[in-house]
Amino acid sequence: MQEFRVKTGSRSEFVDITDRVQAALAEEGIVDGVCLVFCPHTTAAITINEDADPSVSSDIQNYLDQFVPRRGSYRHAEGNSDAHIKSSFFGCSELVIVEGGRPVLGTWQGIYFCEFDGPRTRRVLVKVVGEK
């Protein structure tokens, strides 16, 4: 298993981690198999989406802020209920097929770490299973 850290600079941020996942694959030496990208935090998430146009992640964040506002009639005392809800919408992991030592992604896809309660330094775990 590989681990790396993601440092975010704002409360809500999508960070493209595709290259870091690729580096973890290379380190493990797996050529064909599957790769689990996991975030062990309850106010962050992992997703796969458009990586060619940064306005896509901005649009997603703006919609989320309208759909789940930071302030609301939440009962959770820490003041970050919106981040927990957003994290649950996306989920804490993605499973990616690996072929030829590379993640199988669509032409415009990238793997993103989604921060909803930053800025923080977070952990991302990558577990690869397959053939060398």
pLDDT per residue, tens digit, the chain (132 aa), is 999 999 999 999 999 999 999 999 999 999 999 999 999 999 999 999 999 998 999 999 999 999 998 888 888 878 899 999 999 999 999 999 999 999 999 999 999 999 999 999 999 999 999 988
| pLDDT at residue 78 in the model | 85
| pLDDT at residue 110 in the model | 97
Owning domain of residue 25: 2-131
Is residue 122 a contact partner of residue 44, using CB atoms and an 8 Å limit? yes
The helix/strand/coil state of 58 is helix
Q: What's the number of domains the chain is made of?
A: 1
Backbone angles phi, psi at 58, to 5 degrees: -65, -45
Distance in angstroms (rounded) separating the CA atoms of residues 65 and 85:
11
**CATH, residue 34:** 2.60.120.460
